[in-house]
Amino acid sequence: MRVCVVQMNQGSDKAANIAQARGLIEGALAADRPDLISLPETWTNLGGGREAREAAAEVLPEPGGSGGEAYEFLRGIARGAGIVVHGGSIIERGPDRLYNTSLVFDRDGREIARYRKIHLFDIVGPDGTGYRESAVYGAGDRLVTCSAGGITFGLSICYDLRFPELYIALRRAGAEAIFVPSNFTLQTGKDHWEVLLRARAIETQCWIIAAASWGPYQERGATRFVYGHSLIADPWGHVVAKVSDGTGFATARIDPALTARVRRDMPLLAQRDARPIAL
């Protein structure tokens, strides 16, 4: 399976973000002919404050129903190109809160996975800037996997990356590859992004598919920056595809034989189960 990560520089204009995603996806399809495309976290909105997030939010439909503009865009790309589409994440309007939610569509445009981000980004950055995702979003509480093209995928989003127990749980649930769509800040990304992604690949022996946002955006009158450097890592922890600065895409081939060989030669999960650590 050929997998492509798309790197965007989205802002608070939802229509412009969808147009940017369309252009990048069309470029990737023409150049690399991927079987699966993955987008970044909240690719329909970055910045602009609570009002912009509310404006970008969509009520997600029941199975088979019609969704909002971003939902139908993702479904249309999957159906029209005959590929699997991992829609990074979009802003879901729930009954009482917003949610940061990933969607996956199969080649026929059917939704096959929906995951709400579990770990919310409530931190103070190295420069003193505060982030409080829980002020806007509710947290998910469910592990999600799906299968496409004979491969089982696990779903996660951005700050989830810092919680390895989630990734081990996805491996136990059968994951062979794990999505990590992200808006990593520039300050944290330059020090932690690739290190953490490679660590999650090594310890789970899964492919890591990490589409990220890059560059400046406006938030409440201030300019902030996200790190980008979208990448794909193999189960040995090697980075096999990577996007540089700017918008763009990168593609790699997921090889199930490599996954099987790494797991056979270093049976980490069986050894973990055989020697559980009691604390």
CA distance 22 to 265: 41
Taking a C-beta distance cutoff of 8 angstroms, is the pair 199, 164 a contact? yes
Closest C-alpha to 87, from 39, 41, 29: 39
Catalytic residue among 41, 92, 111, 176: 41
Is 190 one of the annotated active-site residues of the chain?
A: no
Q: What are phi and psi of 270, to 5 degrees?
A: -65, -40
CB count in 10 Å sphere of residue 79: 16
Within the chain, where are the H helices? 14-32, 49-56, 69-81, 164-172, 186-204, 256-265, 268-274
Q: Which two tokens stand for residue 178?
A: 């794990």
Catalytic member of 117, 146, 176, 206: 117
Annotation says 117 is catalytic: yes
Catalytic positions: 41, 117, 158
